[in-house]
């Protein structure tokens, strides 16, 4: 039996609780918890008769063992509980966007409510992440103080604090060390940063030496750097960090936790002169010596040493040359196409230098008519990165097309609408590359599309991309094997029903209606719309809206009910119908391509051969016909 309540059970719990927490009585908000009365770990059934709807604060305060965790988060939690007695350190590697923060805070809240610890200490790489950790903790019922001064490390009324690596230099390490006189769980976010500077590692060691337990988090494993050793982690004989639990990108995509990303590599020819290497000396007829500099020509995909690769990229990244403006134009065309179906989709250019970023922003302005924001981490003009964070926050909440950054949007920045990227950095380490990839893999509800990252065809970057794709291919192969096995077993058990049971369900767009009827109850469009809003607020799928209507009616005054008792047809504006249809078709087409073993472009070609126009130019009526065709294809699989 599953340890988590399914959606229909959650609806029943929500209705039984009248939309309020079963313990404190406050109105339930998005993120409320379905909890076992008799704990699952003690044999309690995952059934509505053994369930209750709780707010996060009450669930944490009673030491509940189950939140609405993803499968990998629960497995990582189980791995923690399976550690040998007396173990003080655990390292967890999870791909960006998978939910490391939620896992860590759930573990901390659980340990706090059970009395295993008295304090929580989080160490994060940046000021922006320091604030994000504090905000995320508040959503889970934990109060963490983002440290701004000496008095914040142990401020009363808080469960702990969040501090940056930089703040631990000097007195900060001793202030945090003093906090650990109480049993403390330390969460070290992106612990590989402790190797950025030897002093960071030393201060981290001093600050957290005495804590009860240390949970180290990272987005990708790394190799040992003998110049700046990283504390509290183990290495294998090859110098690779040993993780206690790993959740890789391939598994995250297979689970639907992360979006798949396409890598588009572009070659190019670069020419430059290297005076130090190409100088040739000769003498003229009078015997006077002179030097002639020879032009070097190289292609990115060729076998070059590191210096030549760096030189070639310097040339290709020059805004005045043809290569980079052409890359930006290609990326913008991709974004144009995607925004027909995802109107707020956005692009990111990761640059090498500030002057590159400014020049690329001008090029993008030529293409789009709007100059994108340029984000640079500059300790002189922007100490603490406050202006950069504000720019990122503004872009996250806007519908702007492009943002240009000098390396800094690499980790901890959550902009789920990022879908198209241009990698214009000379950094070739797998850690940085995966951090950039992580900016494009965060998913949003009801969206199915592949993100794209345009990269220079440098062998080292291609290797990193192939490794990521291999992880994904391996996971999808495993999933395909499991699905095929299930199909075979089902077919063996029933020749008539086996295949039907494993057909992929086909979703439908929002209906146009003037009333709804369920179990003899008739509801107006206004009531359904209100119920759908309540579903969204409570974290319940809108298909359960009708279930909530009796509860909503009981809360309305008789006069108010009378005012909405007469059915009134609702007309969906044409432009909204078109947007809904484009989104439905994209979802269905991607699902069909995945299950039919085709590329999305092949599905588009099939639709054209079937007599349909290109989706980008189709009318509402033509889009409805396209949707019906894809639905029919899916039903025939």
SS3 401: coil
Tell me which residue of 187, 239, 241, 246 sits closest to 211, measured CA to CA. 187
Are 316 and 552 in contact by the 8 Å Cβ rule? The answer is no
CA–CA distance, 52 with 551 (Å, rounded to integer): 17
E-assigned strands of 323-438? 346-351, 374-375, 402-405, 418-424
DSSP3 helix / strand / coil % (the chain, rounded to 5): 45, 15, 35
Nearest CA to 120 among 223, 213, 241?
213
**How does 475-486 read in b/e, with b if 16+ C-beta sit within 10 Å?**
beeeeeeeeeee
Cα separation, 326 vs 79, whole angstroms: 48
Grouping H, G, I as helix, E, B as strand and the rest as coil, residue 620 is helix
Q: Are 108 and 101 contacting, i.e. CB atoms less than 8 angstroms apart?
A: no
The answer to whether residues 409 and 392 touch, using CB atoms and an 8 Å cutoff, is: yes
| 463: its two tokens | 């290797």
State residue 543's pLDDT score: 45
> How far apart are alpha carbons 536 and 542 in whole angstroms?
7
The sign of the CA dihedral 77, 83, 88, 90 is negative
Which residues are 215's β-sheet partners? 90, 187
Residue with the two structure tokens 């789009």: 368
Dihedral over alpha carbons 410, 416, 422, 424 (to 10 degrees): -10
Cα angle: 624, vertex 627, 629; to 5 degrees: 115
Task: Provide the token pair at 239.
Answer: 């110098």
**Which own/partner contact pairs does 505-513 have at CB distance under 8 Å and 24+ positions apart?**
506/588, 506/631, 506/634, 506/635, 507/584, 507/587, 507/588, 508/584, 509/580, 509/581, 509/583, 509/584, 509/627, 510/572, 510/580, 512/570, 512/571, 512/572, 513/569, 513/570
The pLDDT value recorded for residue 521 is 42
Angle between helices 620-635 and 600-609 (to 10 degrees): 110
Distance CA 219, CA 156 (A): 33
Question: What residue spans of 238-353 are helical by DSSP H?
Answer: 249-254, 275-278, 306-316, 323-339
User: Can you give the pLDDT at residue 364?
Assistant: 95
Neighbours of 376 (CB within 10 A): 20
Q: Give the residue from 152, 298, 143 showing the smallest Cα distance to 133.
A: 143
Low-confidence ranges of the chain (pLDDT < 50): 63-66, 278, 474, 476-523, 525, 543, 546, 557-572
Task: Please tell me the predicted confidence (pLDDT) of residue 589.
Answer: 84
Q: What is the DSSP letter of 279?
A: E
Tokens of 312: 């070639």
- Report the relative pairing of strands 295-299 and 418-424 from DSSP bridges: unpaired
Distance CA 236, CA 631 (A): 51
Question: Is pTM, for the whole model, over 0.85?
Answer: no
Q: Strand 89-94 and strand 213-218: pairing?
A: parallel
Helix H or strand E encompassing 57: helix 56-61
């Amino acid at each position: 039996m599953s340890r988590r309540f399914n959606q229909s059970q959650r609806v029943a719990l929500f209705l039984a609780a009248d939309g309020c927490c079963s313990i404190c009585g406050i109105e339930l908000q998005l993120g409320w918890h379905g909890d076992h009365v008799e704990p699952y770990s003690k044999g309690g059934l995952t059934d509505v008769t053994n369930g209750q709807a709780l707010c996060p604060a009450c669930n944490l305060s009673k030491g509940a063992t189950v939140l609405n965790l993803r499968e990998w988060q629960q497995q990582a939690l189980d791995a923690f509980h399976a550690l040998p007695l007396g173990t003080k350190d655990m390292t967890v590697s999870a791909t960006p966007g998978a939910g490391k923060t939620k896992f860590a805070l759930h573990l901390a809240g659980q340990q706090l409510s059970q009395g295993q610890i008295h304090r929580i200490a989080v160490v994060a790489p940046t000021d922006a992440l320091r604030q994000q950790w504090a905000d995320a903790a508040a959503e889970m019922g934990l109060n963490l103080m983002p440290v701004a001064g000496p008095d914040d490390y142990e401020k009363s009324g808080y469960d702990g604090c969040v501090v940056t690596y930089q703040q631990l230099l000097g007195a900060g390490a001793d202030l945090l060390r003093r906090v650990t006189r109480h049993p403390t769980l330390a969460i070290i976010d992106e612990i590989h940063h402790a190797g950025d500077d030897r002093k960071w590692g030393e201060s981290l060691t001093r600050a957290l030496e005495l804590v009860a337990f240390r949970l180290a988090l990272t987005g990708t494993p790394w190799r040992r750097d003998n110049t700046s050793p990283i504390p509290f982690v183990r290495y294998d004989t090859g110098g690779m960090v040993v993780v206690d639990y790993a959740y890789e990108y391939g598994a995250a995509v297979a689970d639907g936790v992360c979006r798949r990303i396409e890598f588009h590599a572009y070659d190019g020819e670069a020419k430059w002169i290297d005076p130090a290497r190409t100088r040739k000396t000769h003498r003229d007829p009078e015997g006077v010596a002179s030097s002639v500099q020879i032009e070097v020509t190289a292609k990115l995909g060729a076998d070059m040493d590191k210096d030549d690769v760096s030189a070639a990229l310097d040339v290709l990244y020059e805004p005045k040359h043809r290569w980079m403006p052409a890359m930006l134009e290609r990326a913008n065309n991709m974004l144009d196409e995607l925004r027909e179906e995802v109107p707020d989709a956005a692009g990111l250019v990761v640059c090498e230098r500030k002057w590159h970023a400014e020049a690329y922003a001008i090029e993008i302005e030529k293409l789009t008519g709007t100059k994108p924001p340029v984000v640079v981490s500059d300790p002189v003009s922007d100490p603490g990165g406050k202006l950069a964070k504000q720019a990122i926050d503004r872009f996250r909440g806007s519908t702007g097309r492009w943002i240009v950054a000098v390396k800094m949007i690499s980790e901890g920045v959550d902009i789920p609408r990022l879908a198209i990227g241009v990698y214009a950095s000379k950094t070739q380490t797998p850690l940085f590359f995966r951090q950039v990839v992580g900016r494009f893999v965060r998913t949003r509800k009801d969206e199915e599309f592949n993100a794209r990252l345009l990269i220079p065809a440098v062998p080292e970057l291609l290797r990193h991309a192939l490794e990521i794709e291999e992880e994904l291919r391996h996971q999808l192969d495993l999933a395909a094997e499991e699905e095929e096995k299930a199909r075979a077993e089902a077919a063996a058990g029933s020749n008539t029903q086996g295949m039907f049971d494993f057909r992929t369900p086909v979703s439908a767009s929002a209906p146009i209606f003037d009333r709804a009827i369920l179990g003899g109850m008739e509801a107006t469009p206004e009531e359904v719309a209100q119920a759908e809003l309540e579903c969204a607020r409570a974290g319940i799928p809108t298909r359960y809206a009708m279930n909530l209507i009796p509860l909503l009616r009981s809360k309305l005054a008789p006069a108010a009910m009378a005012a909405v008792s007469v059915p009134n047809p609702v007309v969906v504006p044409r432009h909204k119908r078109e947007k809904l249809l484009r989104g439905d078709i994209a979802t269905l087409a991607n699902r069909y391509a995945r299950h039919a073993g085709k590329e999305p472009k092949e599905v588009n070609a099939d639709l054209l051969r079937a007599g349909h126009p290109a989706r980008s130019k189709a009318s509402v009526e033509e889009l409805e016909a396209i949707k019906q065709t894809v639905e029919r294809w899916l039903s025939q699989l």
